[in-house]
């Protein structure tokens, strides 16, 4: 769920992400330290229906109701619901954050995200691969090296034009610093600086998180916060955690 949230991402980037917010300061970073991976059970959601519902909450029902839904198992993501519209919704975990993000191993992080068809083809594969590598026992460094090797071998795609994703769930948890943060859209592009999109400038709605070093994925994630959650409620209502930002 980052702007390399949940990657991203995460999240993010995005979560990246996937802290996703370019406005998050060091003072808002979590006091809790997560130096290593916790027990696997901490990352899993025992209630499969709850994970499906959380994944769907990433986007408006008009999109998520016909999207493919993935859920996390002990060996990686598996399809829980076959999709009809080309979108895929998934709840990303902390290891989709930038490698130096404080929440990388945070077992509480849940980053619901819905990818559009171009992102399903060219961004989601990194989520699938990162997750498989981490669950197979790879360290951060080993995971990154494996992704870079796959890229060099032409086994992973660059971001396809038009790749974007929705992170509009009021029930997500993007880390101990950002909490729920804000509902937002993410645009996945080949690596580029903030100035290309006018990001992070006074009055610009576009954000690019440059607080962390980039991960191995060949992308930058530009984010645009919006004013309502996927259920249509205003983002300043309960669940927005606006007091943290």
- pLDDT tens string, the chain, 245 residues long: the values are 443 333 433 333 333 333 333 233 333 454 568 999 999 999 999 999 999 999 999 999 999 999 999 999 999 999 999 999 999 999 999 999 999 899 999 999 999 999 999 999 999 999 999 999 999 999 999 999 999 999 999 999 999 999 999 999 999 999 998 888 899 999 999 999 999 999 999 999 999 987 666 789 999 999 999 999 999 999 974 444 443 33
The enclosing H or E element of 148 equals: helix 140-152
Work out the end-to-end distance of the chain between its first and last CA atoms, rounded to an integer number of angstroms: 18
Phi-psi region of 108 (alpha: psi -120 to 50; beta: other; left: phi over 0): alpha
Task: Give per-residue burial for 72-108: e unless 16+ CB within 10 Å, then b.
Answer: beeebbeebbebeebbbbbbbbbbbbbbebbbbbbbb
> Does 10 reside within a domain?
no
* C-alpha to C-alpha distance for 67 and 62, rounded to whole angstroms: 9
Is residue 222 within 8 Å of residue 197, measured between CB atoms? yes
What is the domain count for the chain?
A: 1
Looking at the domain assignment, is residue 79 inside a domain?
A: yes
Contact between 223 and 208 (Cβ < 8 Å): yes
pTM: 0.86
Asked whether residue 8 is domain-assigned, the answer is no
Residue 20 lies in a domain: no
Q: Is residue 166 part of a domain?
A: yes
Label the pairing between strands 76-81 and 111-115. unpaired
Structural domain for 79, as ranges: 26-244
Look at residue 208 and tell me if it is in a domain.
Answer: yes
Distance CA 233, CA 210 (A): 30
Residue 158 placed within a domain: yes
Note whether residue 5 is domain-resident: no
């Amino acid at each position: 769920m980052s702007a390399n949230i949940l990657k991203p991402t995460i999240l993010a980037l995005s979560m990246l992400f996937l802290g996703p917010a370019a406005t998050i300061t060091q003072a808002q970073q979590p006091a809790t330290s997560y130096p290593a991976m916790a027990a696997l059970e901490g990352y899993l959601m025992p209630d499969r229906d709850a994970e499906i519902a959380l994944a769907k909450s990433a986007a408006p029902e008009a999109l998520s109701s016909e999207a493919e839904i993935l859920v996390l198992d002990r060996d990686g993501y598996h399809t829980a619901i076959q999709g009809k519209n080309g979108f895929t919704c998934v709840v990303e975990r902390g290891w989709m954050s930038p490698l130096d993000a404080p929440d990388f191993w945070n077992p509480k992080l849940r980053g619901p995200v819905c990818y559009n068809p171009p992102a399903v083809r060219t961004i989601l594969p990194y989520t699938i691969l990162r997750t498989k590598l981490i669950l197979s026992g790879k360290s951060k460094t080993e995971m990154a090296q494996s992704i870079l090797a796959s890229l060099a071998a032409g086994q992973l795609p660059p971001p396809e034009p038009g790749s974007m994703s929705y992170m509009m769930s009021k029930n997500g948890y993007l880390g101990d610093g950002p909490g729920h943060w804000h509902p937002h859209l993410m645009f996945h592009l080949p690596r580029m600086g903030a100035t290309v999109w006018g990001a992070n400038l006074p009055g610009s709605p576009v954000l690019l998180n440059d607080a962390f070093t980039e991960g191995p994925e060949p992308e930058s994630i530009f984010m645009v916060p919006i004013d309502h959650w996927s259920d249509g409620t205003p983002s300043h209502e309960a669940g927005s955690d606006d007091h943290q930002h």
